[in-house]
Amino acid sequence: MMQGSISNRIRTLRFMNGEMSQAELGQHIGLTRQTIAAIEAGKYSPSLEAAFRIAQVFNVPLGEVFQWDVKATPLKAS
C-alpha cells in the first residue's frame, strides 16, 4: 500500500481571507471550532463533503486546500 499523509493549507487560506477565525470557518460549513483546529493540525481528516465545503468557502479547488504527500518507500527485491 502507498504510504503518505494528508497536509493542508487552511491556516494560510484563512489568513488570505481576511484572517478568518476558526470559529467563522466552522460556522460556514457546520463544524465546531475544535474540529477546524483538529483538521488544521492534521489530527483529524474531514469527510470528503466537509473538505469540498472548506474549498468552497475559500473559492479554490480542493487540491489547493488538501495535499496528499507520498512517503517514499524503498522497493523490495523480489
Partner 1 sequence: MSYREKIAWLSLIAMAVAYGPYFMFVARGPSPWEPLPHLHPLGLFALVSIVRMLILGAGYLYLRLGSPREERPPLDERDRAIEHRSLSAAYYVLIAGMILVGCFMPFSSTGWTIVNAAIFWIVAAEVVHYSVVVASYRLQASS
Residues near partner 1 (CB under 8 A) are 23, 26, 30-32, 34-35, 37-38, 40-41, 43-44, 46-47, 50
> Which CB, 20 or 50, lies closer to partner 1?
50
Query: In sequence order, which residues have a C-beta less than 8 Å from that of residue 12 and are 6 or more positions away?
Result: none
Least Å distance, CB 43 to partner 1, is 5
Least Å distance, CB 25 to partner 1, is 12
Q: Rounded to an integer, what distance in angstroms lies between the CA atom of residue 73 and that of residue 20?
A: 38
Cβ count near 22 (within 10 Å): 20
